[in-house]
Chains A and B, each alone.
Chain A
Amino acid sequence: MSPDHKPILVIGGGIAGMTAAVEAAEVGYPVVLVEKEPSLGGRVVRSHRYFPKMCPPTCGFEINTRRIRGNPNIEVHTMATVEEVSGDVGAFRARIKKNPRYVTGDVSIDDSVVEQLTSDRPNEFNMGLDTTKGLYYPHTAAYPPLHVVDKEALSDGDVAVLTEACPPGALDMDMAEEEFTIDVGAVIVATGWKGYDPGNLPNLGFDRCPDVITNLIMERLAAPNGPTGGKILRPSNGEAPTNVAFVQCAGSRDENHLPYCSAVCCMASLKQARYIREAYPDAKVTVFYIDVRTLGRLEKFYYELVEDENITFVKGKVAEINEDPETHELILEVEDTVAGERPDSRFDMVVLATGIVPNTADSPIPLELDYDDYGFLNGATGVEGVFAAGCATHPCDVSRTTKESTAAALKAIQCLNRG
């Protein structure tokens, strides 16, 4: 333990930030972890399963939250953003803004209170596919395990219900936005990513055809704590899909959209093909790809799917998707298919493998850093003592992310020791 060290500031509480925080803290260094959402976990807790083991991300999340709970070196701020960073390596000063949760955390709130509310607000955890009340629990595995109030979403009646039904001391509706500064020795940027906006791909019909969904939506549909309780259903009619197409590189590897490869979408689609095959033993799946990029030991996962007679792999880029107005089937136009392969071009559900966009592309952190053309912090960040990890640096999967975060933790520790 080095109480005389300044802490490491970790920006972002997804798997990258959580990993960097616990790895540094377990060596013995203090860490301040700042997350903008009400709960830690970022993208990974929104995933149903990890490839290739098909294991639930909440399992590793449970271990990581236990490591955080058990470690006095880590200070967690949720609903918080870093507004300003000044200074130099070893002596940065960060200004943190904390939005009010209105829930004190002193007394927990029973879900029976939530049930009495009338308000509805889009549930961002489920990509807006369902709603929550104005008082809600972020998600089943939420850490910190606290409800949160969206004050603007509460109706007048709701406010009365909360006053009446919440245990005394549970809420503080006068809670104000809070700002404070902390002195830190090093900064780790672990701000993660978001999915590429399928609205930018009008040819692929996401906005026109209800049964065209994205890979991120598929994760929520498959998850037991998702909007459908884990049932993968066609949004148009709530029926089980029988014939599903995966459209790879929906925006990625495309100079008009994301020129780079998003690195995880091949494996993500193969994993989702397994969701479908496990849920619906008769369903058929077709994967339209440019290259199947299942690197390293992940190749085995691809080989296993190739053996499945209900799964077809077709090399070709999908140019357009239209809905048959009568049958509501989705019709795919496919370019560059391998000679001789004539896929059935009609499907009842299409999953767009949309890619990874760094969050720093449109919300850079308040420091002059060397972003690349895409908004990634690839390589040195340009400021000594500031390091990046995970999808803030380049598109990468969870395993790679945790490696980078572990490495970033050491780089940060080196700065504290020098300072």
Chain B
Amino acid sequence: MEEKIGVFICSGYGIAEALDIDALCNVATSEFSVPFCEVVDTCEGPGLDIIREKILSEGLTKVVIGGISPRKYADNAFPEGVIVEPVGLREQVVWPLPPDDEDTQMAAEDYLRMYIAKVKGMEPLEPFQPEEEINKDILVVGGGVAGLTAAVEAADAGYQVRLVEKAEALGGWLAKQHKSIPTQTPFQDLEDTGVDELIGEVEGSDKIQVYTSAHTSEIKGAPGLFDVTLSSTGNGKPEGEVVDQFRVGAIVQATGWKPNDPRKNLPYGDLEDVVLNVDLEAMVKESGKITRPSDGKEAKTIAFLQCGGCTNKEHHSYCSSICCMTSLKQAMYLREADEDAKAFIFYEFMRTPGLYEDFYRKAQDDAGIFLTRGDVAEVTKNGNGSLKITAKDTMVGEEIEVEVDLVVLAAGMIPNAADGEAIRLLEDAKVTVVEGDSEAKKEAAAQTIEELGHHEGTEILNLGYRQGPDLPSLEYGFPDSHFICFPYESRRTGIYPTGAAREPMDGSGSKEDATGAALKAIQCVEMTSRGEAVHPRAGDQSYPDFMMSRCTKCKRCTEECPFGVLNEENDGTPLLQATRCRRCGTCMGACPERIISFKDFSVNIVNEMIKAVEVPEEWDEKPRILVLACENDAFPALDLLGQNGMKGSPWIRVIPIRCLGSVNIVWITQAMSQGFDGVILMGCKYGDDYQCHFIKGSELASVREKNVREKLEQMAMDVERVELHQLQIDEYDKLPAIFENFDELIEDIGYNPFKGM
């Protein structure tokens, strides 16, 4: 269809009172020769109906509406296939700036120019459709409670599932349990684990193909197109022999946990009758009895030491969440078998959250379970074979001694997950040690190998990703992204960690977690098949396009993508795996050759927006500051500034961007060479408690600031002219100070010397 641009200027909302509407129309019709420009009373409700009708009757293909914030519109508010960009004249200009004022008018006119320039550069989106058909099958890695549940739930929703378990049998830790802690009201009695029924459901399903004694030796490809190779773990078939190869659409990683054995840290750790909670569980499961390893005598008194008997944070940097309940359960095993038996539980904090409190109360009511808040100082072996525990009761402040047959350490959980990023760094370092071009580099690589060497051989998924064979891990080796609102987010699209591999959780928590993970996997294949992005830009149909003929193979895109989207050929050429893409534009921000573009967001489009701003001459004494703002947090904060009746700055010109990671340095140099007096980058918080929805985007912007400084120095420009702010969505009250400080800075260092050149 032939391009036809239309502009609607809204006169409602006090816009006509604050601004010269005729002059705004003039910008569109005279400066840009836009063939259609009309004033509407409102741009909601009946006004929106009029706009929609006009778009169709006039055959408009690209539309700018100068009215209210784009955040007020539903995505489907406009006719399909038409590019519509609402400009929040109300939120960004009329509300925060004085009415009927020359500078306010200039801001409004500039925004109109910027958005007309923007739609000119935009092209209609076509959802990404790979040449091959999107596969919607789900691979579940791990056959414990989480994996079994994910498989059953995905199959129950109608999806084909492949479940792979490295051991000979399904069931994981659940199958090793004698009983489960109560999972439902009234949270009193221990329950059967239900593992046989769960395995039965999996094995009986015609939608689930089960592989035991196998592991994922290779996973290539991307969501909808993952090519999986399973190899034998050595039971039956020779180890490493390929078991099967197939394609799936998404992956649930339910690889479980292993006990965090504290005995090496304990002076009494080598005593034979000091065992782990998992050992006790196995003992009861197998023999129905609890016996002392040293002499096989049945244990009638047991001490349970919570937090594995050690309170030091080196060993227990996080809480394993389930050990308190496990010890209470195991104390009940003992008590149910023998009414004279005694269980002593030494703890710092009893953690039975929520409705589990009823279970705790049951244990408290049991005269044979002694709960002591205390630190265990010593465990020694008595002559009679029993163990003597010396502890300090921190409640009454007294030393106490108890004699027990067995000491059970409540061992915590370590996730069975590999750190893909660390493994990749290790691989790179091994190459550098041999081939590095300087001694310093070789030395640094040797250091890396020493630090990360323990990751060698820990691979689980064996992903064919440039950024490593497994998900990157966050704190303590857990592979999720630690978002509070979006706990399933991982840094590899279409791969969802769940269960105790994701964070410490109990069996019933794992079931629920795995059901949610199955949903996310299903959602991913469905959205991918529609050519849409998954969270956080859910539904986005744009995708990056690489003009490969100009690629210099610098590898910055492949290294900086937060989601490992790009693979590399041997010579460093990036290989786009589009269905992995989350559309943040970080690659676009990284690319020094500016060859990466989205149809609706590109280096060129933003450049054109910047160029559209009319920068006054120095003697006008009207500075111009470009603000590049994260569209999820900083941009809404700018909307809220005016909404809350606070004052904005007439000098700023704001461009919302997908993420600070997408900021290409050329936008800054463009603004500077055009006479802007400064640039403010506003993005989300980075660091340990990062809030960036693309995880690394805002952090990368801060790293790239160094390049920006160099560039400014080359231009003989004050480096202070570019500021980076971490701004939360509700910190709109900080904006006035940011703008005032910037004004003062410009007063100090003067206007941009390039102005008017």
| Residues of A in contact with B (beta carbons under 8 Å apart) | 1, 15, 19, 22-23, 26-28, 50-60, 62-64, 66-67, 69-72, 104-108, 110-112, 140-141, 145, 167, 169, 223-225, 230, 253, 259-263, 291-300, 303, 315, 336, 338-340, 372-374, 376, 378-379, 394-396, 398-400, 402-407, 409-411, 413-414, 417
Contact = CB atoms under 8 A, between A and B. Distances in A.
Contacts of B153: 407, 410-411, 414
B512 interface: yes
Nearest to A71: B539
A23 B484 CA distance: 16
B157 A70 contact: no
A334 to B, nearest CB: 13
Given A60-B485, A62-B729, A296 B321 contact: yes
A63 B536 contact: yes
A407 B395 contact: no
A395 B45 contact: no
B702 interface: no
A116 to B, nearest CB: 14
B434 interface: no
28 contacts: A15-B485, A22-B538, A23-B523, A53-B484, A56-B729, A62-B633, A69-B75, A70-B76, A70-B538, A70-B539, A72-B74, A107-B44, A110-B13, A111-B645, A140-B644, A145-B71, A169-B46, A260-B355, A260-B358, A295-B321, A296-B318, A296-B321, A300-B317, A315-B373, A379-B183, A400-B509, A404-B516, A414-B153
Given A62-B729, A299-B318, A145 B72 contact: yes
Contact of B353 (A69, A225, A293, A299): A293
A295 B645 CA distance: 42
Interface in B1-60: 12-14, 42, 44-47
A167 B42 contact: yes
Contact of A297 (B361, B396, B482, B513): B482
Given A27-B523, A106-B46, A299 B319 contact: yes
A295 B689 contact: no
B487 interface: yes
Interface residues of B, number: 96
A15 B353 CA distance: 21
A61 B438 CA distance: 50
Given A66-B632, A294-B319, 10 more contacts: A26-B535, A53-B691, A56-B729, A59-B485, A62-B632, A108-B68, A111-B645, A225-B644, A406-B516, A411-B515
Interface string B184-214: 1110000000000000000000000000000
Nearest to B513: A403
B728 interface: yes
Nearest to B525: A27
Interface centre among B12, B318, B530, B645 (most CB of A within 10 A): B318
A379 B186 CA distance: 11
Given A53-B689, A402-B486, A410-B516, A27 B355 contact: no
Contacts, number: 261
B478 A295 contact: no
A372 B534 CA distance: 37
A403 B512 contact: yes
A140 to B, nearest CB: 6
Given A110-B13, A378-B185, A69 B536 contact: no
Interface in B353-375: 353-358, 361, 373
A59 B539 contact: no
Contacts of B693: 63
B503 to A, nearest CB: 5
A-B pairs, 4 with minimum CB distance = A106-B45, A339-B397, A60-B485, A406-B516
Given A339-B394, A340-B397, A403-B487, A63 B358 contact: no
A58 B516 contact: no
A413 B522 CA distance: 11
B73 to A, nearest CB: 7
Interface in B610-646: 632-633, 636, 640, 643-645
Interface centre among B518, B522, B523 (most CB of A within 10 A): B523
A413 B519 contact: yes
Contact of B349 (A293, A410, A417): A293
A261 B360 CA distance: 10
B125 interface: no
Given A259-B358, A261-B353, A300 B475 contact: yes
Contact of A27 (B397, B519, B730): B519
A367 B72 CA distance: 36
A289 B315 CA distance: 24
Given A71-B539, A298-B319, A398 B157 contact: no
Contact of A394 (B350, B354, B685): B354
Interface centre among A27, A263, A315 (most CB of B within 10 A): A27
